[in-house]
Structure 1
Amino acid sequence: MALLLASVLAITGCSGENEGAAPAGKADSKSNGSTASAPAAKIVADPAVDAKDVPVLQPVKISVSDGKLTEVVVNDPEGKPVAGDTTADKLSWANSQRLDYGKTYTYAAKAMGADNKPAELKGSFSTVKPAKTIRATVNPADGQTVGVGMPISVNFPDDAPKDRAAAEKALKIETTPQVEGSWAWVSANKADWRPKEYWPAGTKVKVSASLYGVNYGNGYGRADVTSEFSIGRKQVLKVNTPDHSLKVYRNGALTATYPSSNGKDSNPDLNTPNGTLIVMSKEPVGDFSNPAYGYTNVKKKWAMRISNHGEYLHENEENAANIGKANTSHGCVNLFEKDAKALFDTTLIGDPVEVTGSKVAMPTTSEVNDWLFSWEKWTGMSALK
């Protein structure tokens, strides 16, 4: 019995000192050791503090890492807040209101870091102050209804943009229904958009020229310009000069034929040149005085300009003997007064005028010249080709 009890006590003593067991009063270093401290919030602003000549189109962005934004205020020089929004995750803020030229803006941002401590950033930046701003206009204007040959023109009347690509990138066309078309620079000061084919009748068009703040290389865009207009019914005027007549087609069907006297066949300088033109303007009474040809104080009714080369559609009762019989004008399409009035009343600015049969072609230097170019040539005149 004594020997058995001694053996049990010996075994029990060995198990109490089992290898790997922690001594009494000591903690397990794996389960209760210290952890790294949480990081502080870091706020970053773009533009950076004290930035100069910031482009007005550059977004203002305040962002934070290792924390959440709690407040962002950006003020203009008058102390008015610049509109903006914080993202749902509270990691960044961006302006929704554009900046002005030559202004100093201040910002103050606050955040709470992962370390549960507040952080703050304050600063200011200044926007670019252009030496020159360049204005733009758009045609057709709001609310107009124009013919199916009408191009869209964005004109820079005071100065031509040096960087045409930058200007063209800011131009946007929206149409209902969708229409294929392209921009082309028809002069140093003007970009036109025309469809590949005539506009579909009834098309709704919206032009957005977001030019404010665009750097042209020789100045900055002064303001955005927009326009919304409509395309009317499809009417095309056709003049085959040997026929001594002008034909009116509405939606593809011949609706009227008017006798005419066109430019002199014997003198190419006085032909009515071949080409697809458009009605550019309408005047109840036009002044056709031209001292070079001995015309002084010559007024004609129901005048419609079709080029800046000098051609019009108009009445000319003084040439009544030749209307419908011979081509004797100096390039214009002469009509009887009643026919000229009827045509004037049913024609829209932008209606195409297709001239064929002459000895010469309309020079592409004449405005409006958009339809004188092939589609391949037209698209090649884009600055973004």
Structure 2
Amino acid sequence: MSSKLRLLWTALAAVLLISGCGTSAPEDRAPAEPVAKVSFEPGAGAAEVNPAVPVKAGVERGRFDSVQLTNGEGKQVEGQLAPDGKSWQATTALGYGKTYTWSGQATGEDGKQVPVQGSFTTLRPQRTIRATINPTDEAEVGIAMPISVKFDEPVQDKAAVQRALNVQTSVPVEGAWAWLSDRQVDWRPKEYWPANTRVSVSAKLYGLAYGGGAYGLADLTTDFNIGRAQIVKADVNTHRLVVVRDGEQVASYAASYGEEYDPGRNTPNGTFIIMEKNPVEIMDNPRYGYRDVRKTWAARFSNHGEFIHENQENAAALGKVNNSHGCINLSAADAKKYYDSALIGDPVEVSGSASSMPPQYDVYDWLLSWDQWQAKSAV
């Protein structure tokens, strides 16, 4: 073989060796995904979220470096990051009809960082309904005082509302809720409250669907006290007003009740409560021809128009004759004593009258039997 041919074969073998037996450079590998996984409740992209639901963020195989939730105006939602950095929860309720956006960062066990991002929107009610609760915080009330929740508009889903109401007492007390109208639900004990009971009420109404596109405007709470046990015994035939406190009679006042032979002027039978107290009350009754009559030390016990009040002008009838227009008349001195002793919510038990009060004037809770009361529950 010639030298030129030998060189050609040597060169060809080298090329084959390089192309057939050599190893290529390793291909570029994709970087590993971060191990940290961030999750949200409600989920990112969720719509029509109830603003009262729990709002949370969590991270698996990592911890949050920072996490924020802001509304469309850029205001941050208050929240609490767990000590281990693995979860965050809102500590205030969200608003209706808003968009909320997550931001922040988490670091995984592998040291890699992942963003906290996403958004959701809350439902926009057709309307919201305001509610109020009575008694108010730290009030001291009598042993017949009902708890009353009133709404600005009629409520359709009464059962849902009633389930959101809770009553806690310092001593066991049997009681129940009853709907007195589409706008009012009351709770009263089966019997009078035990004296000196502490009562706490919560109404979780915010975000609650009332039906018909309406939702609750706000939660309500109240904490109040039941005072001493004072009862007014008002037997119209005795011409006396008797006050019993903590089981003992503490007063017996000469009184004049409503005219016995005119049903329109009777002081009607029934158990009522002291609803309000006014040192001066201006009274009108066009049917019986008087207007702007000024009476003092007036304690209202019915929205039908009945009061316990001073009527010094009727002094000759006190303790002897029933001749009022339905109110309970006392002397000025006795009316002042009674007025000073009374609490809103004290029971007034009227008996011996020729007529009884129909259960239609606020407050009529105690004009219903316990069975009648329970039948008004929505659950």
Superposition TM-score tier, normalisation by shorter sequence: 0.7 to 0.9
CA apart distance, 1:207: 2.4
Equivalent pair of 1:53/1:128 in contact (CA under 8 Å): yes
Instruction: Tell me how large the CA RMSD over aligned residues is.
Output: 2.6
> Which residue in the other structure is 1:212 paired with?
206
> Which residue in the other structure is 2:327 paired with?
332
> Which residue in the other structure is 1:319 paired with?
314
Question: What is the alpha-carbon distance in structure 2 between the residues aligned to residue 200 and residue 358 of structure 1?
Answer: 28
Q: More displaced, 56-65 or 213-222? A: 56-65
Equivalent pair of 1:249/1:255 in contact (CA under 8 Å): yes
**One-letter code aligned to 2:350:** V
Q: Which residue of 111, 118, 127 corresponds with 2:122?
A: 127
1:259-270 equivalences in 2 (<5 Å): 259-270=254-265
> Percent of aligned pairs with the same residue?
50
1:251-266 equivalences in 2 (<5 Å): 251-266=246-261
Equivalent pair of 1:323/1:335 in contact (CA under 8 Å): yes
CA apart distance, 1:128: 1.7
Query: 1:182 aligned to 2:176?
Result: yes
- Deviation readout 1:131-176 (Å, 9 max, x if unpaired): 32221212222232111111111121x2122222222233222222
**One-letter code aligned to 2:281:** G
> Which residue in the other structure is 1:143 paired with?
138
**One-letter code aligned to 1:327:** N
CA apart distance, 1:340: 1.2
Question: What is the alpha-carbon distance in structure 2 between the residues aligned to residue 203 and residue 187 of structure 1?
Answer: 28
> Which residue in the other structure is 1:6 paired with?
none
CA apart distance, 1:41: 5.5
Query: 1:198 aligned to 2:162?
Result: no
Equivalent pair of 1:289/1:299 in contact (CA under 8 Å): no
1:1-385 equivalences in 2 (<5 Å): 42-63=37-58, 67-71=61-65, 72-85=67-80, 93-108=88-103, 120=115, 122-156=117-151, 158-218=152-212, 219-383=214-378, 385=379
CA apart distance, 1:295: 0.9
Question: What is the alpha-carbon distance in structure 2 between the residues aligned to residue 296 and residue 58 of structure 1?
Answer: 55
Question: What is the alpha-carbon distance in structure 1 between the residues aligned to residue 140 and residue 156 of structure 2?
Answer: 33
Question: What is the alpha-carbon distance in structure 2 between the residues aligned to residue 123 and residue 376 of structure 1?
Answer: 54
Partner SS for 1:173: strand
CA apart distance, 1:267: 2.4
Equivalent pair of 1:38/1:114 in contact (CA under 8 Å): no
Equivalent pair of 2:34/2:113 in contact (CA under 8 Å): no
CA apart distance, 1:289: 1.6
Distance verdict in 2 for CA 1:316–1:381, change over 3 Å: same
- Deviation readout 1:231-253 (Å, 9 max, x if unpaired): 21111000111111110101111
**One-letter code aligned to 2:276:** S
Structure 2: give runs of 5+ residues left out of the alignment.
1-31
Partner SS for 1:325: coil
CA apart distance, 1:339: 1.3
Question: What is the alpha-carbon distance in structure 2 between the residues aligned to residue 176 and residue 324 of structure 1?
Answer: 41
- Give the TM-score taking structure 2 as reference length: 0.82
CA apart distance, 1:92: 5.1
Equivalent pair of 2:142/2:229 in contact (CA under 8 Å): yes
CA apart distance, 1:106: 0.9
Question: What is the alpha-carbon distance in structure 2 between the residues aligned to residue 285 and residue 96 of structure 1?
Answer: 48
> Which residue in the other structure is 2:14 paired with?
none
Question: What is the alpha-carbon distance in structure 2 between the residues aligned to residue 345 and residue 38 of structure 1?
Answer: 77
Question: What is the alpha-carbon distance in structure 1 between the residues aligned to residue 352 and residue 339 of structure 2?
Answer: 24
Partner SS for 1:155: strand
Give the number of aligned pairs. Answer: 346
CA apart distance, 1:189: 1.4
Distance verdict in 2 for CA 1:108–1:297, change over 3 Å: closer
**One-letter code aligned to 1:129:** R
Equivalent pair of 2:64/2:87 in contact (CA under 8 Å): no
**One-letter code aligned to 1:323:** L
CA apart distance, 1:307: 0.5
Q: More displaced, 84-93 or 313-322? A: 84-93
Partner SS for 2:284: coil
**One-letter code aligned to 1:308:** N
Equivalent pair of 2:241/2:255 in contact (CA under 8 Å): yes
- Deviation readout 1:318-355 (Å, 9 max, x if unpaired): 32232212222221111122211111111111111001
- Deviation readout 1:340-379 (Å, 9 max, x if unpaired): 1111111111111001111222111011111111222222
Question: What is the alpha-carbon distance in structure 2 between the residues aligned to residue 344 and residue 367 of structure 1?
Answer: 21
Question: What is the alpha-carbon distance in structure 2 between the residues aligned to residue 117 and residue 293 of structure 1?
Answer: 88
- Give the TM-score taking structure 1 as reference length: 0.81
Question: What is the alpha-carbon distance in structure 2 between the residues aligned to residue 115 and residue 343 of structure 1?
Answer: 78
Question: What is the alpha-carbon distance in structure 1 between the residues aligned to residue 62 and residue 373 of structure 2?
Answer: 53
